[in-house]
Amino acid sequence: MVYKNHPMVSRVVFGRGSFNQLEEILTPKRNGRNAPFIFYVDDVFKGNHWLTSRIRLSYKDKIIYVPTTEEPKTSQIDDLVEDIILEFSELPSGIIGIGGGSVMDMAKAVSLMLTNKGESKDYQGWDLIKNPAIYHVGIPTISGTGAEVSRTTILTGPERKLGINSDLTPFDQVILDPELTKDVPKNQWFYTGMDCFIHCVESLKGTYLNAFSQSFGEKAYALCKEIFLEDHLSKEDAQDKLMMASWHGGMSIAYSQVGVAHAMSYGLGYLLGVKHGIGNCIVFDHLEEYYPEDVALFKKMKAKHNIKLPKGICKDLGDNEINKMIDVALSLEPLWENALGKHWKTIATREKLLALYKKM
Ligand code: NAD
Ligand code: ZN
C-alpha cells in the first residue's frame, strides 16, 4: 500500500472582517512593479463598494470581473492566460480568486497554466502538472464546495468535465471571512451548502472511508445538520459554521472520494450545463436506494427551506444525449468504486442510470 502524501493550503486566515487584511497579506508577495496581482472577482460584486474598496490596486494590478452563469471552461482559462501574457512584461506576483467555486477554480487554473505550457485541456486528469503555479489565493464568498481546500480545479473541456488534480493546485493562501457570504441568495445558499452535505454523505458512506476522512466528514455533517435543520443559530453563526463545514467537507473527500450524486451530476453538467450545486441536489433527491437515511434528511432540509427543484430536465432528451450523459457519469470510475465497491459495474449498469436520469 502506498499512501498519498497530501498537499494542503499553506496559510489560512479565519474571521469576520479578515478580508480587510488582504493588502497586508499580499504586499510581501509582490515581485516588483511589473509583476501585478490579478484579482478575479465574481461579477455579482461589480459596483459593490463594500467589497471592492478593500481590493487596493498598486502599479499594474488589475481586477477582472468574471461572469458565473456558466462553470469554467478550458478555453476560457486559456484565453485568460493569454490575456495576461500579452498584457504584462512579467509573470504576475499572484492570482487571487474572490467568489464561489467557479471563480476560485478559475484562479487556481490560471495560476497553473501561466507556468505550464500548452492548453489546459491537456492537464485535465491526475498529476499531469509539471511546474509550480504562480502564488495563488482563494477567498470564498459562498460556502459549500470545498474548492478553497481541494487539490483540484474542475473544468469543462471539449471532451469532458474533469478536474486538473495535482499537488500544485491547492491555494498558497486562503482568507475565510464569513461576512463575505452575507448576500448570497437563499436558493444558491441551499444548493452550494448541499454540495457540502453531499460531500460528507458520499465520503462517510463510501468504501474508501478511513479515520482521516471520517473525522472531517463527521464534523462537517454535524454542522450541516445544525445549519439546515435547527433553528437556534444566529445568521452570523450559521455563516461562520457553513464556511467551516465547507472546509471540513473538502478535507474529508481529499483522502477519499465522492460518489453517485457527483458522478451523475457531472453528466448533467456536461450535457445540459446544469451547475454543480443544483445538479447534485437534483440527482441526490432520487438516490434513496443508495443513501436512504441521508436522502430522507435532504428532503427534510428541502422542505424546511421551501426549496423547489426543477423537474423533468431529462424527459425530452434523445437516446444519443442520454447515452452521452451515461458515458460521462460512468467514466468517473473512482467515484463509483468508492460508492458501490469493487463490483460496482454489476450495480451501476447503463439501464440503471437511464432509469434514474429519466426520473430527473
Ligand atoms: P458559483 O461559484 O458558480 O456561484 C454561484 C452563484 O452565487 C453565482 O451566481 C454567484 O454570482 C453567486 N454568489 C457567490 N457569492 C455571492 C455573494 N457573496 N453574494 C451574492 N451572490 C453570490 O457556485 P459554487 O456552488 O460556489 O461553485 C460551483 C463551482 O465549483 C462549479 O464550477 C464546480 O465545478 C466547482 N467545484 C469545485 C470544487 C473543487 O474542489 N475545486 C468542488 C466542488 C465544486
Ligand atoms: Zn461537489
Where do we find the cell 499553506? Answer: 10
pLDDT at 2 > cutoff 90: no
Q: Model confidence over 220-241: pLDDT tens digits? A: 999 999 999 999 999 999 999 9
Query: 52, 276, 328: which to mutate for ligand 1, most atoms within 8 A of CB?
Result: 276
Looking at residues 204-212, what average pLDDT do you find? Answer: 97
Give the single-character DSSP code of 134: P
pLDDT at 4 > cutoff 90: no
Ligand 1 atom with least separation from CA of 191: 25
State the Cα–Cα distance between residues 212 and 210, nearest whole angstrom: 5
Give Dmax (Cα) for the chain.
60
Distance (angstroms) between ligand 2 centre and the Cα of 262 equals 6
Rounded to 10 deg, the angle between the 319-330 and 260-272 helix axes is 140
- Ligand 1 contact via 141 beta carbon (within 6 Å): yes
Query: 43, 70, 154, 162: which to mutate for ligand 1, most atoms within 8 A of CB?
Result: 154
pLDDT band at 160 (very low <50, low <70, confident <90, very high): confident
Q: Which of 40, 30, 32 is nearest to 67 (CA)?
A: 40
Looking at residues 64-78, what average pLDDT do you find? Answer: 97
Burial class (CB in 10 A: 0-12, 13-18, 19+), 342: exposed
- Ligand 1 contact via 152 beta carbon (within 6 Å): yes
Rounded mean pLDDT of the chain?
Answer: 97
CA angle 288, 293, 295 (to 5 degrees): 45
Q: Which ligand is nearest to the CA of 146?
A: 1
Give me Rg for the CA atoms of the chain.
Answer: 20
Note the pLDDT of residue 1: 81
Looking at residues 33-60, what average pLDDT do you find? Answer: 98
Q: Model confidence over 253-291: pLDDT tens digits? A: 998 999 999 999 999 999 999 999 999 999 999 999 999
pLDDT band at 131 (very low <50, low <70, confident <90, very high): very high
pLDDT at 250 > cutoff 90: yes
High-pLDDT (> 70) share of the chain, %: 100
Exposure string for 66-89, b = 16+ CB within 10 A, e = fewer = bebeebbbbebbbebbeebeeeee
